Amino acid sequence: MSDLATIGYSMSNESGQSMPVPFLKKELLYQIDNNNSTNYSRNQVQFETSSFSNSGKWFDFREAVISIPLVMTITRDAGHGISADDAAQLLQMKASNLSIIDSIQVEMNNTTVLQQTRNVAGLLNFKLHSTMGHGDETIHGHHMGYQKHSSTDWSYVAQEGLHNDTADSMGKQFYHEEKAGVLSVADLKAKGANCQETAGLVNTFFYDCIIRLRDLPFFEKMPIIRGSLMKLTLTLNQSDTHITVAGGDKTAVVSTLAGSFCPVIRKAGGEVADYVEDISVKVVSNNGVVHPTKNQCRLYVPAYTFENSAEQSYLSLGSKKVLYSDVFFQRLRGVNGGFQSLLTNALARMKRLVIIPVLSASGNGGLAIEPQSSPFTADGVGTTSACRISDFNVQLSGSNVYSNPINYSYEHFLLEQDGNDGVNGGKEMGMSSGQISLKDFESNYGYIVVDLSRRNKFDDNVPLSVQVSGTVSSGKALDLLCYIEYEKDVTIDITTGQLM
């Protein structure tokens, strides 16, 4: 059945095709990335699929996954160590594994089809929030590192600002000695399971960070292909955070980032009155400790051998046109009170504007930590900051999207978002898609979404300017992370895998 689903998807919208048993063989092949050592300080993971393209097999990149082995540590100063029971629950990816990604670039047959855009994880996590149903989270959540942060169990602390670190929904991702007697930590490490170990003052977390290509732009609607040379480059978010606590209060938090933000959240636990703590997130190797089962990143792709008549039917299609979304990003910093800002002078085939409001560093506690750099909150990466925005409007080349400025609300969110993502966009009972409820929206999932696709077809390729305006009425200055998704397409020759 999975074989029929795969070939059926690739031949969708084609009528009159008989459907024999399509594949004689299915394999899961992998390729290591181009990095030739365990040192990923250059902060990129790059794959070139020449070994795949020269094999003559058919590859389903939509179902492919990338494995990024992470070695993360929490280190305390002498006399203030953390117990193994506490340490095992202290780290989690912000929203999902996608938070390790800062930008993506895709080349196909030496042609760039997806450009690099930094800060892209905020948009990717929003798309998971608005697409996944609760069943998806239950079944696929651990594999994707996805867990929705609580919309009620968050706080604002005067010194260090926003916190999501006490949420009951933040489940344990790392095993430790709880399996003793059946599986030891050595067994868990040998089989590649996510696990944690404590040695003195150092608590080490080994995590296999899985990225599904279907969750990345371009690959979401890609058919099975052969002969295509793909080059995929991921720029990462690796981080080092130094925390000083005196008298029970955090007196300094300094994050050194390779990328745009800290990808992990540090839960509450192990606190004492005075201590110094370092949190480090690195790929494959961290301070001389190498991931126990993988010393390079890997790309896993399903490979198929066709049954002859099914292959001929597929080849008879001649070509496949792939529609996908690229991303334009603009960050508006320090927005307070009324604002009016130009996002872009000219962009064609725009589909959607997504705005993530997040507190500016100046408004996030006495330490003025930028929320995306903070290990205590997911704001700007997996959630928004609670705020109130009124008199909001978007102008496309001077024409208002809304007849009158609006006080953006959950009703407007549903108006723009319902029906767009997931299975029927959550419009039918029993097939619900999306995780954002009214309670979520009014707390820390207040995404602003504007559909920009409503236009006559003959205007699709006309470049338009985009301007946003409104009033931040909730007192604290915001950074507005603005993402414009716009449509692109490529046509692939089924026979050769080349772009047409």
Which residue did the predictor score with more confidence, 58 or 198? Answer: 58
- Spatial distance between the Cα atoms of 285 and 213, rounded to a whole number of angstroms: 24
For the chain, what is the mean pLDDT?
Answer: 88
Those residues with Cβ within 8 angstroms of residue 310's Cβ, 6 or more apart along the chain or in another chain: 7, 19, 20, 21, 22, 23
| pLDDT value of position 3 | 62
| pLDDT value of position 22 | 87
Joined tokens for residue 204: 């080490």
| Per-residue CA distances from 266 to 189, 279, 286 (Å) | 22, 9, 18
> Is-above-0.85 flag for pTM?
yes
Joined tokens for residue 156: 């604002």
Hunting for tokens 């809304």 — which residue is that? 402
Average pLDDT over residues 334-350: 96
**Cβ–Cβ under 8 Å, residues 432 and 133:** yes
Average pLDDT over residues 286-295: 93
| pLDDT value of position 1 | 47
How remote is the C-alpha of 457 from its chain's centroid?
A: 31
Q: Residues of the chain with pLDDT > 70: what percent?
A: 89
Side-chain half-sphere of 211: how many Cα atoms within 13 Å?
A: 27
Average pLDDT over residues 307-313: 90
Average pLDDT over residues 356-376: 95
Among candidate residues 154, 467, 367, 103, the one with its CA nearest the CA of residue 258: 103
Average pLDDT over residues 395-410: 91
Residue 19 has pLDDT above 70, yes or no: no
At 116-142, the pLDDT tens digits run: 999 999 999 999 998 888 888 888 888
Average pLDDT over residues 20-25: 82
Other C-beta atoms within 10 Å of 418: how many? 15
| pLDDT value of position 11 | 61
Residue 423 has pLDDT above 70, yes or no: no
- The ranges assigned to domains in the chain are 319-493
Average pLDDT over residues 203-224: 93
Backbone angles phi, psi at 378, to 5 degrees: -100, 5
Express the helix, strand and coil content of the chain in percent, nearest 5 each. Answer: 20, 40, 40
Average pLDDT over residues 269-292: 94
Among candidate residues 220, 256, 240, 238, the one with its CA nearest the CA of residue 351: 220
Q: Return the exposure string of 42-57: e unless at least 16 CB atoms fall within 10 Å of the residue's CB, then b.
A: eebbebbbeebbeeeb
Sheet holding 350-359, edge to edge: 319-335, 478-493, 350-359, 448-451
**E-state strands within 182-263:** 195-199, 202-212, 230-236, 238-246, 249-258
Hunting for tokens 């074989």 — which residue is that? 3
| pLDDT value of position 173 | 59
Average pLDDT over residues 461-486: 95
Q: Where are the alpha helices (DSSP H) in 62-131?
A: 84-87, 121-131
Residue 86 has pLDDT above 90, yes or no: no
Res. 14 pLDDT band, cuts 50 70 90: low
Angle between helices 308-315 and 2-10 (to 10 degrees): 20
Which residue did the predictor score with more confidence, 107 or 422? Answer: 107
Average pLDDT over residues 232-254: 95
Torsion of CA 422, 426, 427, 428, to 10 degrees: 100
Backbone angles phi, psi at 130, to 5 degrees: -90, -5
Backbone angles phi, psi at 462, to 5 degrees: -85, 120
Q: Which of 15-29, 195-209, 425-439 has the highest mean pLDDT?
A: 195-209
Average pLDDT over residues 485-491: 95
| pLDDT value of position 167 | 45
Taking CA 399 as the corner, what is the angle to CA 396 and CA 400, rounded to the nearest 5 degrees? 90
| pLDDT value of position 43 | 96
Topology classification of domain 319-493: Jelly Rolls (2.60.120)
At 151-177, the pLDDT tens digits run: 888 889 888 899 886 544 445 556 655
- Spatial distance between the Cα atoms of 230 and 172, rounded to a whole number of angstroms: 36
